[in-house]
Homo-oligomer: A and B are copies of this chain.
Amino acid sequence: MFKRLAGADEARRDLLEQCKPVLRTEILPLNFSIGRIISKNLLSDIDLPAFNRAAMDGFAVRSCDTRGAKPQFPVYLDHFQPIRTGMVVPENYDAVVMLEDALLRGHQIEVSAELYPYKNISKFGEDVRHDEIVFKEGHRLRPPDIALLAALEKKKVEVYARPRVAIIPTGGELVPLWARTLRPGEAYEINGLMTKLYVEMWGGEPFLHDAVPDNFELIRSAMEANLKMDMIILIGGTSVGEKDYAPKALKELGDLLAHGVRIQPGKPTALGIVHKKPVICLPGYPVAALSSLYLFVRPTLKKMAHLEDSISVILAKLDRKIASKSGYLNIVRVELKSDKAIPISASGAGILSSVAKAHGFILIPEEKEGLEAGEEVEVTLFE
């Protein structure tokens, strides 16, 4: 039995309070910076456009020459120059009359519209001025941002480094994927693979280790050897029993914030801080591990990676009544069919195929004892 189970919100808050965003930076070629976070205010070295640029096909003119022009009372100009979109507007002109409002008549053009200064001109520096702050620290780079930086000739960009995350599966029965045929009692290591893919998706840089056998010294050494990382995730060996070495090692090396959390599935999760680095011990059952990944790894990683922790939900109507374990935050897998959320029939935390059938999950708060059929629920889609 766990001595004391922590509440999910409380446990997460305690962990997040002690995690800091990673301040290490790196300089990347612009092409490789999509989705990354600017680490200091980024100023432009140039003006954009670098010249007064025609925004229309037509004729460059002096705006003052067009005063009073109307379709009924056109003006006739000697000074003008044919121009096409994108071209430099010559210095002595300050407007472009579009083709619809002008007619070439011999050496003159007939202009039927009055133009104000810089009409149909993209003015020098109107997009970005030299020394203007283009992106503030903390900005996440999206495709149009990359395009703007390309126009500003920023070949490299300084961004925050992604949090480095060591992933250490534990368990003597685990065999690296397809390394050899399994012997009775063995299993391929798949939780580490799942965790690695989520760590990448959530903005971290994963380092997946081979499984460490169920041995206290080896697990502690593996933890110690990875303290240069920004976060450590251990998988398995968290249950109370002979083999809960991961939380024990965490306690010996640092602060064990929680061992046993009131979530279902996922109770044997352990959380702690070692040398200011968050250490998260995930349960060995894959569905329980998935709960902990969403409830603890995701917010921690997003904070450390300077990313928004927001998650999209879809509103749906619960298709049938579900019971939940009172006093626990219940994570219920659901399938979506049109606007209905259909709970996946109760199945153990070891049944990964139950997740294959699920579009997402709903959370039933501790104080509830279940949900009624027809209730509106927020479904978080599995990413």
Residues of A at the B interface (CB closer than 8 Å) are: 1, 34, 48-51, 53, 55, 57, 84-88, 99-100, 122, 126-128, 134-135, 139, 142-148, 150-151, 153, 155, 171, 173, 177-178, 182, 184-185, 187-188, 190-191, 193-195, 197-198, 201, 239, 241-243, 284, 286, 290, 312, 348, 350-353, 355-356, 382-383
Contact = CB atoms under 8 A, between A and B. Distances in A.
Contacts of A351: 126-127
B352 A194 contact: no
B146 A194 contact: yes
A1 B55 contact: no
A350 B55 contact: yes
Contacts of A86: 171, 173, 185, 187
B197 A127 contact: no
A286 B197 contact: no
A178 B173 CA distance: 54
B147 A191 contact: yes
A189 B327 CA distance: 59
A197 B33 CA distance: 11
A147 B84 contact: no
A382 B193 contact: no
A347 to B, nearest CB: 8
Closest 9 CB pairs of A and B: A143-B197, A147-B194, A147-B190, A312-B312, A86-B173, A144-B355, A148-B352, A88-B185, A88-B184
A143 B194 contact: yes
A243 B126 contact: no
A148 B51 contact: no
B290 A382 contact: no
B87 A185 contact: yes
Nearest to A350: B122
The residue in A84, A85, A139, A351 that gathers the most chain B C-beta atoms within 10 A of its C-beta is A85
A53 B193 CA distance: 22
Contact of A352 (B144, B190, B348): B144
Contacts of A153: 178, 188
Contacts of A241: 57, 85, 99
B242 A127 contact: no
A1 B100 contact: yes
Contacts of A195: 143
17 contacts: A34-B197, A55-B350, A57-B243, A85-B284, A87-B173, A122-B350, A126-B348, A134-B356, A135-B356, A143-B194, A146-B197, A147-B191, A148-B190, A148-B356, A150-B178, A151-B352, A312-B312
Contacts of A148: 190, 352-353, 355-356
Which residue among A50, A99, A147, A188 has the maximum number of chain B CB atoms within 10 Å of its CB?
A: A147
A126 B312 CA distance: 32
